[in-house]
Structure 1
Amino acid sequence: MYQYTEFDQSFVRSRAAQFRDQLERWQSGKLSEDDFRPLRLQNGWYVQRHAPMLRVAIPYGELSSRQLRMLARIAREYDEPEAEVYRLASEAQRKLGTVRLPTNYAHFTTRTNVQFNWIPLSKAADVMDLLASVDMHGIQTSGNCIRNISCDERAGVAPDEIADPRPFAEIMRQWTTLHPEFAFLPRKFKIAITGASEDRAATDWHDVGLRLLRNEAGELGFRVTVGGGMGRTPVIGTVLREFLPWQHIMNYIEAVVRVYNQYGRRDNKYKARIKILVKAEGQRYIDGVEEEFRQIVEHDGGPHTIPLAELERVSACFALPSRPSVDAPIDLEAIATSNAVALETPQFERWLQRNVSPHRNQRLRIVTLSFKRLLQAPGDASAEQLDRVADLAERFSAGEARVTHTQNVVLPWVHVNDLLPLWQAAREAGLASANVNLLTDMIACPGGDFCALANARSIPVAEAITERYQDLDELNDIGDIDLHISGCINSCGHHHSGHIGILGVDKDGKEWYQVTLGGSDGSHASGRAQAGKVIGPSFSAAEVPEVIDALLSAYLDIRAAVGGRRESFVETVRRAGIEPFRTAADRVRTLMEKTA
């Protein structure tokens, strides 16, 4: 993991001190609400439906056990609303049919940040000091700036990796932090980077997507896409460069952002994202970027060219950990015991198949801890669970864990000798569900239960579907499937990229849900990134589980065999089209109308 330098630590702590001063001036009336709002947002503090929400940056998803324990402490001691605030929130939720509003939780997001939903602003400065003490912050997790740079959670350990993207992500993190030209863009700006052949970072859905590759001469560089995004207008990024030498990646991003900053819409926030500019201008935008890049390199001397020595310095921070748990030789007796237990214990065997992935080091494995279970919202983690993950990371993963794009946590340094004891410990912590990439391993935003922007609630819908599909035999028969749920068109639940996407919409002041099919983020069996297609009019909350059931039944009826295996859900949708599924969903609507 990257280790903060003395400068890094001083910077983060001084930023926390600045925020404390700003907060105190606001509390005393020396700063107006309008003056304070951009200051708190620049540090990750929002005001949501019931209470403030803090978004903490987790650069490229990496967390140390020390940082996990601090997040647990913040959840336990600070994620607790004032009594009157919670009473009013609970009263409002009861009217909507939701009684459970959990506190003392953290929430993993789809861009590998961590959020807290209940911390009072009166305690905000104390929390920022605690975060700074473990090299964490909320800088640029909000605002019209370059946000937290996300990464493949298997970076540096995946067998399909061409090069480790983390050193580049760290160099870019340092470069973009409080960069004056990037601080007031027309709209928020998101970068994702991967070094693997499989796109687990969903790069094509980002404002800038970077994929490391090698050209025919074996030279390392980037494939650069620009203008991807979800929201009201889902767009897959446009390829600007099939190959850009790695040394020039920051010069090129500078050109991309300069042209966007100059020509991006500022009169309409719905048309301000770079995806709108790229779509509207097409080749003119690409030509503008190339000319700006030429000027930066030839006229300005390429001031942001990455020296090899700097790349090597930062790369050294990501050296393989040296610990007994990682360096131990394979213990054949431990492997034999593990295999015997797997034969006798279906739960363990399924966990090995679903939650354990190959590692570039043959003695090690990548293990996913699932945070998707009944009566817990996708991505939510209690203070106790965070402490348990810290313990598991210390014991089994060289003190490191990583947040995933799919709202789970990965342990990247697990020795094959330790798979059985890890499973046993994870099961005790409630984190051993063998459902990775299955239907209940869904993505969902907090929705209307917490977010002031949401049109509908995501959590009750996710819970109803999860409750309906608890049989692992049934889930494995259905196979790999991505179900994504968003509470509004802002798409924080990435519904556009779900094989099945669910979008909360408002109709006459009531919650309804639009269903899409065939989307993809570009990872595992999904193939190329693409947006799902709407299958018809929206459904009520009560109809959604029935619709999901009907869609899956239609899939099981028409799926075909391909090369000795069964088609996945998304493969069937792409082969058969959405008409058979639309017909199945329409039957549900007709039946519900008759019985209403």
Structure 2
Amino acid sequence: MYQYDRFDHQMVRERVAQFRGQVARRLNGELTEDEFKPLRLRNGVYLQLHAYMLRVAIPYGLLASRQLRKLAHIARRYDKGYGHFSTRQNIQYNWPRLDEVPDILAELAEVEMHTIQTSGNCIRNTTADHLAGVAVDEIEDPRPYCELVRQWSTFHPEFNWLPRKFKIAISGGAQDRAALAYHDIGLRLVKNDAGEIGFEVMVGGGLGRTPMIAKTIREFLPKQHLLSYLEAILRVYNMLGRRDNIFKARIKILVHEHGIEKIRELVEADWEATRDGALALRDEDIAGFKAFFAPPPYETLPANDSGLAQQLESDPAFARWHGNAVIAHRVPGYAAVDISLKTGVQAPGDVTDDQMDAIADLADRYSFGQIRVNHRQNLLFADVRQSDLHALWQALVDLDLATPNNGKLTDIISCPGMDFCSLATARSIPVALDLQRRFEDLDHLYDLGDLTLNISGCINACAHHHAGNIGILGVNKKGEELYQLLLGGSSRNDASIGAITGPGFAPDAIVGAVEDVLAVYLERREGPEETFLEVYRRLGDQPFKERLYG
């Protein structure tokens, strides 16, 4: 993984010192809250309902074990003993004291981490496919390009005060596991007819109150032009993006109002003037970044471990977990392992300090000391020997982290909702926990098959409720919490926006409404292989509405 050089270290140390002074001035009254707000947001500090919240960047979701131990220490020392992993592959702390935030930043700097540009109207943390480098369907590892984008975008003087926040995701697999279509810019590594590898560039995706799917602005972009083309897109957005209305400030609105053809014309014109300038990447530049992500020292192993086969046959609980959590690996004898943070006990995406320490130890023992954060608020070990899978599973059972529900109904994406967030209009965590408890029977869960369910506590859609096969949006109507139900969303290659079924449901009725939707699905599917999304797209919403509303 990428290691800081002396410039990185100096930059982060200076940023910590600057923010320490800013916090001191806020606490002694020299700065008002309005004056302090843009400064704290630039350092990942939000003011929530009950306390400040601190968001820590995890570039492209990759953590070293020493970094995870530091995150555990921060949770223990400065928070209430846990952290919350987000859909942006970051981690958030809900209870830090403002006067201690500079100390937290200093501790993060010790392990090459920071909170820079995790908030504010800037280019946010670049995300990636959590299976980068190991996926069997991968064309090329996207992480070197994520790091290139990170270095290019950090403190970029021209794009430090954009009309609105800006999010970029990169994927190298045939299957989209990074929700590219819902990003301001989505980059997919592809091959052209000549066998050259470059990028399909998508622009204008996003969720919130106006969900939109990104449109392809360029079918094939040679790799050497990645940064210059991104800069052309950002420059057009920075010049033309709305600054008079926060709800119309995202690039998705610009693309919608002008049309993709006009935006393409403007971007291409800007790019033609700069494409061969200082941002043009040489082969040696790309090779240098790839060197940071060289494969670990894999052993030569048989493709199928005989001991594993015996364990699967003799231990049904292990076999069930293996069938759900273990993912094929491109190197023979290895596997990737999903670690579910959806246990029905803690809020989705939450992990305790002790669990983080234990996961770091397991990563050292079983996965070359690295951990990944995925888009669905879970963790992943990317490089586990097949012969170690049973021992790893037993260790995860002891940590209550072996719930075999990855990709199933109870693998819920949830925002903090009104329990923490000052923007929320309804609670989301209690609904998520109720659903997980109602559907904890694994036989029923597996009968439902692959199915995504996302819950947001307000229209800002931090939990991507529009992109869930089943989405739930908490709203407030005349002081009463209600939950709207959406059906048919997807964040994969077949990206689609879920449609609202009708009037919202009371808190004590929303779980029953989900049960009604699932009953229709089970009754009307044409065999166990037909997924919920396939049934919905075949039937439309009418059968579901009839069951829900009569």
With normalisation by structure 1, the TM-score equals 0.91
Q: CA offsets per residue over residues 505-549 of structure 1, 9 Å max, x none?
A: 110011111110000001xxxx51010111111111111110011
Which of 489, 505, 510 does residue 519 from structure 1 map onto?
Answer: 489
Residue 463 of structure 2 is aligned to residue 485 of structure 1: no
1:17 Cα offset (Å): 1.5
Instruction: Provide the secondary structure at the position in 1 that maps to 2:83.
Output: strand
**Residues 293-442 of structure 1 aligned to structure 2 (within 5 Å):** 293-297=271-275, 301-322=276-297, 326-327=298-299, 329-330=301-302, 335-442=305-412
1:268 Cα offset (Å): 0.4
Residue 517 of structure 2 is aligned to residue 551 of structure 1: yes
**Residues 214-233 of structure 1 aligned to structure 2 (within 5 Å):** 214-233=191-210
Distance in 2 separating the partners of 1:307 and 1:45? 37
1:131 Cα offset (Å): 0.5
Q: What is the alpha-carbon root mean square deviation over aligned residues?
A: 1.2
1:583 Cα offset (Å): 1.2
Q: CA offsets per residue over residues 549-585 of structure 1, 9 Å max, x none?
A: 1111110000013xxx520011100001111111111
Q: Which residue of 1 aligns with 2:253?
A: 276
Q: Which residue of 2 aligns with 1:195?
A: 172
Distance in 1 separating the partners of 2:485 and 2:225? 42
AA matched with 1:339: A
Q: Which residue of 1 aligns with 2:53?
A: 53
Q: Unpaired runs of 5+ in structure 2?
A: none
Instruction: Provide the secondary structure at the position in 1 that maps to 2:443.
Output: helix
Q: Which residue of 2 aligns with 1:536?
A: 502
Q: Which residue of 2 aligns with 1:69?
A: 69
Q: Which residue of 2 aligns with 1:126?
A: 103
Residue 131 of structure 2 is aligned to residue 154 of structure 1: yes
Q: CA offsets per residue over residues 410-436 of structure 1, 9 Å max, x none?
A: 000101111111111111111111111
1:211 Cα offset (Å): 0.2
Q: CA offsets per residue over residues 135-154 of structure 1, 9 Å max, x none?
A: 00000000001000000000
Which of 178, 184, 193 does residue 155 from structure 2 map onto?
Answer: 178
Instruction: Provide the secondary structure at the position in 2 that maps to 1:493.
Output: coil
1:328 Cα offset (Å): 5.9
Q: CA offsets per residue over residues 274-298 of structure 1, 9 Å max, x none?
A: 000000001222211111111222x
Instruction: Provide the secondary structure at the position in 1 that maps to 2:538.
Output: helix
Residue 90 of structure 2 is aligned to residue 113 of structure 1: yes
Instruction: Provide the secondary structure at the position in 2 that maps to 1:540.
Output: coil
CA distance change for structure 1 residues 331 and 571 in 2, over 3 Å: closer, same or farther? closer
Distance in 2 separating the partners of 1:571 and 1:225? 25
Instruction: Provide the secondary structure at the position in 2 that maps to 1:505.
Output: strand
Q: Which residue of 1 aligns with 2:417?
A: 447
Instruction: Provide the secondary structure at the position in 2 that maps to 1:210.
Output: strand
Distance in 2 separating the partners of 1:288 and 1:329? 52
Q: Which residue of 2 aligns with 1:569?
A: 532
Distance in 2 separating the partners of 1:26 and 1:548? 47
1:27 Cα offset (Å): 1.7
Distance in 1 separating the partners of 2:296 and 2:10? 26
Note if contact 1:330-1:416 (Cα within 8 Å) is conserved in structure 2. no
Which of 249, 270, 288 does residue 292 from structure 1 map onto?
Answer: 270
Percent identity (aligned): 51
CA distance change for structure 1 residues 331 and 546 in 2, over 3 Å: closer, same or farther? closer
1:207 Cα offset (Å): 0.2
Q: CA offsets per residue over residues 480-525 of structure 1, 9 Å max, x none?
A: 1000000001000100000000001110011111110000001xxx
Note if contact 1:146-1:188 (Cα within 8 Å) is conserved in structure 2. yes
Q: Which residue of 2 aligns with 1:594?
A: none
Instruction: Provide the secondary structure at the position in 1 that maps to 2:63.
Output: strand
Note if contact 1:497-1:530 (Cα within 8 Å) is conserved in structure 2. yes
Q: Which residue of 2 aligns with 1:578?
A: 541
AA matched with 2:499: K
Q: Unpaired runs of 5+ in structure 1?
A: 80-102, 588-596
Residue 25 of structure 2 is aligned to residue 42 of structure 1: no
AA matched with 1:528: D
AA matched with 1:464: D
1:331 Cα offset (Å): 10
AA matched with 1:288: L
Q: More deviation in 540-549 or 11-20?
A: 11-20
Q: Which residue of 1 aligns with 2:31?
A: 31
Note if contact 1:13-1:133 (Cα within 8 Å) is conserved in structure 2. no
Note if contact 2:186-2:214 (Cα within 8 Å) is conserved in structure 1. yes
1:249 Cα offset (Å): 1.1
Q: CA offsets per residue over residues 14-54 of structure 1, 9 Å max, x none?
A: 21121112111222223332222111110100000100000
AA matched with 1:198: Q
AA matched with 1:557: E
1:3 Cα offset (Å): 1.4
Residue 4 of structure 2 is aligned to residue 15 of structure 1: no
Instruction: Provide the secondary structure at the position in 2 that maps to 1:512.
Output: strand
Distance in 2 separating the partners of 1:375 and 1:421? 24
Q: More deviation in 227-236 or 31-40?
A: 31-40
Distance in 1 separating the partners of 2:269 and 2:462? 34
Q: Which residue of 2 aligns with 1:4?
A: 4
AA matched with 2:59: P
Distance in 2 separating the partners of 1:431 and 1:518? 29
Q: More deviation in 2-11 or 133-142?
A: 2-11
Note if contact 1:330-1:417 (Cα within 8 Å) is conserved in structure 2. no
Distance in 1 separating the partners of 2:317 and 2:13? 46
Instruction: Provide the secondary structure at the position in 2 that maps to 1:412.
Output: strand
1:355 Cα offset (Å): 0.3
